[in-house]
Amino acid sequence: MSGSDFEQALVAAAFQRAAEVGWTRLTIVDAARAAGLSLAEARVRFPSKLALLRRFGAMLDEAALLAAPAEGPPRDRLFDLLMSRFDAMKPHRSGLRALLRHLPGDPALVVALSCATRRSMRWMLQAAGISTVGLRGELRVRGLIAVWLWALRAFERDATDDLAPTMAALDAALQRVQAAAGWLAGERKASTIEPGSDESMTDDADA
């Protein structure tokens, strides 16, 4: 078994176990045993559940980047990239729901995952041909984090095979930030967004 296959098998087993026993009770040891994998190798590759989540996030990025469209409007390219991430998450929905239920009670994990999400969204923007340099670039990153979190709420409730509700939520969120006076072109300053407006969702990026 290759290293990549090992990691994918352990990640799948971990989310399956999380669905069964909850994220708090999940251990890497239990996941490795459930998948019939070497405990010694599991310890090296995933010394903690946070390490597993970071690797899972990288797997989602890899899935998106492998399918990254080379042409088209930036908004369409972002939609395809983010939906590729959701498609890669779909086999693990039950376990991810267990993780999302756990997060409100684990602020340290929320902070760690927020940092990982920021890195991922920066990659998605760059892959779509959108600059992330400077203040405008940072605003774009924050805006896309808000888009991702908005669509993630829909994904958490989505039980369909084609992820149609998730697609609709993602499309609507991208429309909102695109309508924010040229957000994709970096033309709008954060100070011009009124609190409570639809566009203000871009200010919730670090929540």
Write the DSSP string, the chain: --HHHHHHHHHHHHHHHHHHH-TTT--HHHHHHHHT--HHHHHHH-SSHHHHHHHHHHHHHHHHHHT--SSS-HHHHHHHHHHHHHHHHGGGHHHHHHHHHHGGG-HHHHHHHHHHHHHHHHHHHHHTT----HHHHHHHHHHHHHHHHHHHHHHHH---SS-HHHHHHHHHHHHHHHTTTSGGGT---GGGSPTTSGGGGGGGTT-
Mean pLDDT, residues 68-93 taken together: 94
Nearest CA to 184 among 87, 76, 92, 88? Answer: 76
- Answer yes or no: are the C-beta atoms of 120 and 112 closer than 8 Å: no
Note the pLDDT tens digit of each residue in 9-31: 999 999 999 999 999 999 999 99
Confidence (pLDDT) at 185 = 54
Mean pLDDT, residues 133-148 taken together: 92
Give residue 112's pLDDT band: very low, low, confident or very high (50, 70, 90): very high
Which tokens in the block code for residue 15? 């989310």
Nearest CA to 125 among 141, 148, 136? Answer: 141
- Per the model's pLDDT, the better-predicted residue between 56 and 69 turns out to be 56
Give residue 182's pLDDT band: very low, low, confident or very high (50, 70, 90): low
Mean pLDDT, residues 94-98 taken together: 97
State how far the Cα of 38 lies from the Cα of 183, in Å rounded to an integer: 48
Mean pLDDT, all residues of the chain: 88
Confidence (pLDDT) at 200 = 34
CB-CB neighbours of 3 under 10 Å: 10
Contacts of 20 (CB under 8 A, 6+ apart): none
Which tokens in the block code for residue 114? 């927020």
Give residue 183's pLDDT band: very low, low, confident or very high (50, 70, 90): low
Give residue 177's pLDDT band: very low, low, confident or very high (50, 70, 90): confident
- Answer yes or no: are the C-beta atoms of 117 and 145 closer than 8 Å: yes
Q: Model's pTM, two decimal places? A: 0.85
Mean pLDDT, residues 150-155 taken together: 97
Amino acid at 183: W
